[in-house]
Every structure is written in C-alpha cells, then in structure tokens.
Amino acid sequence: MLPDSPVRIRPARDDDRLPLAGMFAEAAEELDSIATEPPVDVRARAASWTIDETLVAVTGDEVIGSIHVGRSGHGFGEVGMTVAREWRGRGVGSVLLAAAIEWAREQGLHKLSLGVFAHNAAGIALYRKFGFVEEGRRVKQYRRQNGELWDAIDMGLLL
C-alpha cells in the first residue's frame, strides 16, 4: 500500500545529489542492509552519483527512495536501491523497482542483476515479487567492520 501523500517516480536530477547521498549515508548507518558502512563522505558521494542511471521516489519535494541501474556495457544492469527508513513497507520499493524494470527494457538491457545480504528479508521479498531468481550465494563474502563475514545472494531477472 502506498503512503497517503502521492508518491511519484521520476528520473533523478542534479539537485537530488545531496538528498540521495544523505539517504545512502543513513542506510549505511543502519549497518545491516547495504554493503557500505560508515563513515560515508556525503559530499563526495553526492558529487560522484550517476544521476542519469537513477530514478527517485518523491512525495512533495522530499526524496524518499531511489534506485540505481548501473549499465555494465555487456547488456545487463546492476541494481542498487534504498527507501528512507520511515517509508519502508508501504510499497515505495515496489513502485521504484517496477519503474526501473520498465526503464531497463527501454534502454535495451537484457537482464538486471544484484547482490543482497542473505539476511535481508525485505530486499529478497521485494526482488522475488518481481521475478528475480537466486543465481548463487557468495559465502562469507563481506567482511564487516565488526569482524563478521556475511553471505550475499546473487539474484537476476531476465527482461
């Protein structure tokens, strides 16, 4: 279910850079869902963000989610996404991913790929809902700052 206020998906713009980097830094601070861990250099991340490969979810003027499809040059795109914590579980991730799949098809990509931590139930549920299948498991792939070694699942969707 979407939030009460209307949520729009649109291509990212230059003035989204700081909000995008800020949201990314907040996700990193949660320590459990994305590979990057703090500290995030928000200004550097904002400056290097690939805006033309990003869609944002906005309500009013606020960016509440984003999805990035990195074009590989080999026909597949690598997906990364974040929904602001207070907006999760309300369908924002679903509308973002649906829009990204459509965008990827329009770009002529033949496949979307991603890696997700094996414990990331919300992420895995979202990707499965859109037909992504598990293609493998990278065992103890990520060494975290706390010393733990985390598995990641590779998932893919043929377009």
How far is C-alpha 46 from the geometric centre of its chain's CA atoms? 15
Task: Please tell me the distance from the alpha carbon of residue 81 to that of residue 20, in angstroms, as a whole number.
Answer: 10
The 2-41 site mask, x for binding ligand COA (CB under 6 A), equals -------------------------x-----xx-------
Which residue, 46 or 84, has its beta carbon nearer to ligand COA? 84
- In the chain the first and final C-alpha atoms are separated, in Å, by 25
Distances (CA, A) of 65 to 1, 93, 105: 15, 7, 21
Q: Which of 26, 37, 51, 88 binds ligand COA (CB under 6 A)?
A: 88
Residues in contact with ligand COA, shown as a per-residue x/- string from 37 to 76 under the rule CB under 6 A: ----------------------------------------
Span interacting with ligand COA, options 6-14, 78-86, 132-140, 143-151, rule CB under 6 A = 78-86
Question: 44, 47, 122, 139: which one contacts ligand COA (CB under 6 A)?
Answer: 122
Greatest extent of the chain over all pairs of C-alpha atoms, in Å: 42
Which residues are CB-neighbours of 98 under 8 A, at least 6 positions away? 130
Paired sense of beta strands 149-158 and 111-117, if any: antiparallel
Q: Where along the sequence are the contacts to ligand COA (CB under 6 A)?
A: 27, 33-34, 81-83, 88-94, 114, 116, 120-123, 125-126, 129
